[in-house]
Amino acid sequence: MSGANVLLVESNKASAPSFASALEKRGYDVIIAHTAPDAIDKANGAVVIVVDAASLKTSGTRLCRELRKALSHVRILLVVDKKTNVEVFNGKLEADLTLQHPFTPRKLLNGVNRLMPAEDGITLQAGPIKLNLGQRKVKCGAREERLTPKESKLLEVLMRHAGEVVSRKTLIKQVWETDYTGDTRTLDVHVSWLRSIIEPNSLKPRYLKTLRGQGYRLDVGVAEEK
């Protein structure tokens, strides 16, 4: 779901860490609120609510209950601190998923991704790699991740030319829509991010190969649209 809205309910204290940056980097449109009434007022268009109860110094029970009562169609991910007894807590709240500190940003993103509603769209498949072009979701084996717009476009180009060497110049032109090739570090970084998602071992790529002086090649089956 391109640009899907995520409502983030968190502390308004400047010293409190925020998940907004990580969510935005993954391609979500983030709306920030600090109280239940504020969240309900801003929730138009939101499909997932992340309630950072840990930053708010609350259990999140009452907040989730208020949000669920007013926004029954929206799915809720609750973040609690490490002192919370999650097994007891889960039976008392209206959240669809609970994350307990400590956890990585990737685990949060995976949780949000799981709660996103299914969406129809063209799926491109090449070997074990499946890319939903509308949702910008890639699945390889048991792993499924949401991509940024540039990551999705880069993978799409490589998949449509699976088995072929695609030059850096071609990739930069098609993904970033520019003929300037003086600095290819941005491309290399995006390739590295893709490898971290689709490769069993990103340090020893099985699928996305680098051909020095030539470009990149995706070694999988021919891509098909479904």
One domain for residues 171 and 81: no
The predicted model scores a pTM of 0.54
Strands 46-52, 208-211: parallel, antiparallel or unpaired by DSSP? unpaired
User: How many domains does the chain fold into?
Assistant: 2
Give the model's pLDDT for residue 221: 72
One domain for residues 109 and 134: no
Give the model's pLDDT for residue 226: 63
Give the model's pLDDT for residue 198: 93
One domain for residues 195 and 127: yes
One domain for residues 16 and 69: yes
Separation CA 126–CA 197 (nearest Å): 15
Contact criterion met (CB below 8 Å) for 29 and 6: yes
pLDDT tens sequence for the chain (226 residues)? 445 689 999 988 877 678 898 898 888 889 999 999 999 999 887 889 999 999 988 888 888 888 888 887 788 999 988 877 654 444 445 688 888 888 888 888 888 887 877 665 688 899 999 998 877 889 998 888 888 888 989 999 999 899 999 999 999 988 887 776 677 788 999 999 999 999 999 899 999 999 998 999 999 876 666 6
Separation CA 53–CA 64 (nearest Å): 9
Tell me, what CATH number does 75's domain have?
3.40.50.2300
Structural domain containing residue 35: 5-115
One domain for residues 105 and 138: no
One domain for residues 108 and 130: no
SS3 content of the chain, % helix, strand, coil (to 5): 35, 25, 40
- In the sheet with 46-52, reading across from the earlier edge strand, the strands are 29-33, 5-9, 46-52, 75-80, 97-100
One domain for residues 132 and 85: no
